[in-house]
């Protein structure tokens, strides 16, 4: 058995242990979908970051650092500001609303806030979550296949199947509690990896000055905030898009659930401090890895393969094996959360609330487990038939969820006059604008990131329609 395989097996044993330890919480919907709202600050903080970052961080953002150089630091700024605002503006108020209404899902919170007895918001939320989660899960499965291929030489399709099987099994057995606690371990591994790898890569390139000199020789634009294209309208739009990557932190349901699952509103304060510091270290490490990687391995056809390449070519086999686990951990920490999110939307919001199912709480929790498997299998099918760039494909799903839920949630907790009509208009408007922008308009506006028009339209519609129907 190779060193990498041994390390991976050890990691699987740890995940299995956490899943079995968490299993007793999965016999109720509150336990399976939100861990009974008992999670401590460290778990909430790392689970929030690990869920928000995913394979996009370790493969996509390192690839962006490789391709765009210093311009990728705008992504760092956007993410740090975005997650800080999510904690400051939403976390405590969402937690309070969810506790007062005994909510399990984000649509629960919205239905209670707007007295949505006809379940209009639940139905819209279900549609949006299923469409975007499908795209998101498929992209993460793609990242799984790339990770196995880059680290072990295992072919892409087999990598997708192995990674997906692991994720589905421990999510099925341990529910949200297992997801959150494995996020803590995965987040710590990601943090250590993104500190160690850039330091080793920079040292191997001859130090930071040597990295800068090499990049300057390849393209001076790699060292400017404007990027390789230089000062231009396209570069300015690119900067705005990079900054806007952090916008969806203020609304994506898989992160809002983290706030709801905290043991208390007070515990969210230390969780916020931990989360903001860790995400800064995450993102800086990813961009620096990409920049140092370009100095070491110029001319890569696929920039998103730079971290696996550094790990296999330059690290001791033990560290290389650990880095493979780190990449898989990043992917798993998002996929498991998305599976729980989609499952809760179908079982809690549709079967129990919209359809008025008379099944017991335990029976509904078991339905949730079945749905988890089905959604995971659908993600596998899509991943096996398409391999888009992880960075941009994840951003589409991330933007769609953020533009649909972010404006409505912000108005729900900060704008007292927001009503049901405004919430419906804002959610549909933000989501549809994102989709329309990507399909028809984006190429005509220098590829402006879709969350910007989506968020603006969603926010404007929520406020305007609420005022008109007051």
- Whether 380 has a pLDDT exceeding 90, the answer reads no
What's the confidence (pLDDT) of residue 385? 74
What's the confidence (pLDDT) of residue 210? 97
pLDDT higher for 41 or 389?
Answer: 41
Q: Taking the CA atoms of the chain, what radius of gyration do you get in angstroms?
A: 21
CB contact at 8 A, 114 and 421 = no
Q: Residue 368: how many CB atoms within 10 A of its CB? A: 25
pLDDT for 342-370, tens place per residue? 999 999 999 999 999 989 999 999 999 99
Torsion of CA 182, 184, 189, 191, to 10 degrees: 150
What's the confidence (pLDDT) of residue 105? 97
CB contact at 8 A, 452 and 242 = no
Half-sphere exposure of 299 (CA within 13 A, CB side): 0
- Banded model confidence at residue 125, pLDDT cuts 50, 70, 90: very high
Task: List the one residue out of 37, 83, 91, 109 whose CA is nearest residue 412.
Answer: 109
- Whether 463 has a pLDDT exceeding 70, the answer reads yes
pLDDT for 198-210, tens place per residue? 999 999 999 999 9
CB contact at 8 A, 293 and 306 = yes
For the record, the structure tokens of 173 come out as 């057995």
Determine the Cα–Cα distance for residues 406 and 256; give it in Å rounded to an integer: 10
**DSSP codes joined into one string, 233-251:** HHHHHHHHHHHHTTGGGTT
All structural domains of the chain: 3-387 (1.20.1730.10)
What's the confidence (pLDDT) of residue 390? 61
Residue position matching structure tokens 């498991």: 336
- Banded model confidence at residue 389, pLDDT cuts 50, 70, 90: low
Residues 6 or more apart in contact with residue 461 via CB below 8 angstroms: 407, 422, 425, 426, 429, 430
What's the confidence (pLDDT) of residue 450? 96
């Amino acid at each position: 058995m190779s060193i990498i395989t041994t390390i991976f097996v050890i990691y699987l044993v740890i995940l299995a242990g956490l899943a079995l330890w968490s299993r007793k919480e999965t016999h109720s919907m509150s336990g399976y979908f939100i861990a009974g709202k008992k999670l401590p600050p460290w778990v909430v903080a790392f689970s929030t970051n690990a869920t928000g970052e995913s394979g996009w961080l370790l493969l996509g953002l390192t690839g962006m650092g490789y391709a765009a150089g210093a311009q990728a630091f705008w992504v760092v700024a956007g993410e740090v500001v975005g997650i800080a605002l999510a904690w400051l503006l939403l976390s405590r108020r969402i937690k309070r609303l969810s506790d007062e209404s005994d909510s399990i899902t984000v649509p629960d919170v919205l239905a209670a806030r707007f007295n949505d007895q006809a379940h209009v918001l639940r139905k819209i939320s279900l549609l949006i979550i299923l469409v975007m989660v499908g795209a998101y899960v498929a992209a993460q499965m793609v990242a799984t296949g790339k990770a196995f291929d880059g680290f072990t030489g295992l072919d892409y399709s087999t990598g997708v199947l192995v990674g997906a099987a692991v994720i589905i099994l421990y999510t099925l057995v341990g529910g949200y509690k297992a997801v959150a606690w494995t996020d803590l371990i995965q987040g710590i591994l990601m943090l250590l990896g993104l500190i160690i790898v850039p330091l080793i890569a920079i040292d191997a390139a001859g130090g930071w000055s040597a990295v800068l000199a090499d990049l300057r020789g390849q393209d001076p634009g790699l060292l400017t905030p404007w990027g390789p294209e230089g000062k231009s309208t396209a570069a300015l739009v690119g900067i705005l898009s990079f900054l806007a990557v952090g916008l969806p932190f203020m609304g994506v349901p898989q992160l809002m659930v983290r706030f709801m699952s905290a043991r208390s509103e007070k515990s969210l304060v230390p969780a916020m401090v931990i989360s903001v510091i860790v995400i800064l270290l995450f993102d800086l490490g990813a961009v620096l890895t990409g920049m140092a990687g370009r100095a070491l391995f110029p001319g890569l056809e696929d920039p998103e393969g730079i971290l696996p390449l550094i790990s296999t070519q330059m690290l001791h086999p033990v560290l290389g094996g650990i880095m493979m686990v780190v990449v898989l951990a990043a992917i798993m920490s998002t996929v498991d959360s998305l599976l729980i999110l989609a499952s809760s939307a179908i079982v809690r919001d549709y079967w129990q609330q919209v359809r008025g199912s008379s099944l017991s709480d335990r029976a509904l929790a078991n339905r949730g487990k079945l749905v988890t498997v089905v959604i995971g299998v659908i993600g596998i099918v899509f991943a096996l038939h398409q391999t888009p760039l992880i960075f941009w494909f994840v951003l589409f799903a991330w933007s769609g969820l953020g533009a649909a839920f972010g404006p409505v949630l912000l108005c729900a907790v900060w704008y007292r006059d927001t009503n049901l009509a405004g919430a419906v208009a804002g959610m549909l408007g933000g989501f549809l604008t994102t989709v329309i922008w990507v399909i028809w308009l984006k190429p005509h506006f220098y590829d402006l990131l879709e969350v910007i028009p989506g968020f603006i339209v969603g926010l404007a519609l929520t406020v305007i329609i609420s005022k008109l129907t007051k």
